[in-house]
Amino acid sequence: MSEIPPNLRLTTDSGRGPDAADVFAILVREHGERLLAFLRASVPSSSVDDIFQDTVLVAWRRLPDYDRTRPFGAWMRGIARNLVLDHRSKMGRERPTDDAILDAIVRRAEAEDRGDREEFRAKLVRLEDCVARLPDEYRTVIHLSYRLDAPIARIAAEVGANVEAVKKRLQRARAMVATCMESKGATT
């Protein structure tokens, strides 16, 4: 199956070959970053790891239901999407606020299924290059927000702007990165 990169080292037991969990783990690793990207776009950061774990566990339990004609990543993401909806209902529709937004995020994630993990990583490198090319005022807020996980209020204090201005600046910075990515031929 093309799902398994030949360079992956397998964990096996007793020389009998990889057990089910070993192979399952390999597949999850292959799609891990893309699944995390989908979750980060869909739920608050504080919930991402938990939902990631739950997605893996539910996928394991539902493995007999997996249709091998479908991409494994898309199947996992389907499970994750349901968990995101479940999470949203628990959190009082915290975010995303609309199913249509979630569907739009899913479409962006689906676009990543065309490549493999390495291609996705290469795309992230291009994205980092785009961030590096941002004007200082935008690069700074991106750095504070995503590298240091600083809350908006702290960023505002740091850059001497109000909270709304920082939110807007972050939004503009992301839009500029998106434009840069498109110019590099990487669809977002």
Partner 1 sequence: MNIEDDRFAHEDTANDRWIGALIHVQRHDTPERVDQLVDRAVVRLRSESATETVHTAGSIGISGTSVAPHRRRWDWRTPVAAAASIAIIAGSALLFSPQPASADSILHAAQVAESGSGDRRYALELVFPTRAGEADAQAPRAVGTLDIRDAEHVRLDIRFQDGRTMTRGTDGATGWTVDPRGDVLSMPTDARWPRFIETPEGDLLADRLDVLLADIGAHYQIVRCDKGGAMQICATHDDSDFRGPESIELTIDPATKLVTRAALNFGGPPEGAPRRAVRAGDAVATTGSGRPDAMTTRVARDDRPEGGPGGPEGGRGPEGGPGSEGGRGPEGGRGPERGPEGRRGQAGGPGPDGGRGADRRPEPRVVIIERSAVPNGAFDAAWFSPPSAPVRKAPPPPPPSGPGGPGGPSGPGGRGPGGGPPPPPPRGDR
Using CB under 8 A as the binding criterion, the count of chain residues that bind partner 1 stands at 85
Question: Binding to partner 1 by residue 79, rule CB under 8 A?
Answer: yes
Nearer to partner 1, 107 or 183 (CB): 107
CB of 162 to partner 1, least distance (A): 20
By the rule CB under 8 A, 162 interacts with partner 1: no
Give the span between the Cα atoms of 62 and 39, in whole angstroms.
20
Stated as kind and residue range, the H or E segment containing 23 is helix 20-42
Closer by beta carbon to partner 1, 126 or else 154: 126
Binders of partner 1 in range 95-124 (CB under 8 A): 96, 98, 100-101, 104-105, 107-109, 121, 123-124
User: Contact 113/124 with Cβ under 8 angstroms?
Assistant: no
* Cα–Cα separations (whole angstroms), residue 137 to 85, 169, 171, 175, 180: 35, 8, 12, 14, 17
Q: Is 93 in the site for partner 1 (CB under 8 A)?
A: no
Tokens matching residue 112: 């990543």
User: Is 78 a residue that touches partner 1 (CB under 8 A)?
Assistant: yes
User: Which of 145, 128, 80 lies closest to 106, judged by CA?
Assistant: 80
Among 162, 168, 171, 184, binds partner 1 (CB under 8 A): 171
Contacts of partner 1 in 23-52 (CB under 8 A): 23-29, 32-33, 36-42, 45, 49, 52
64 binds partner 1 (CB under 8 A): yes
Q: Is 164 exposed, middle or buried (0-12, 13-18, 19+ CB in 10 A)?
A: exposed
CB of 103 to partner 1, least distance (A): 8
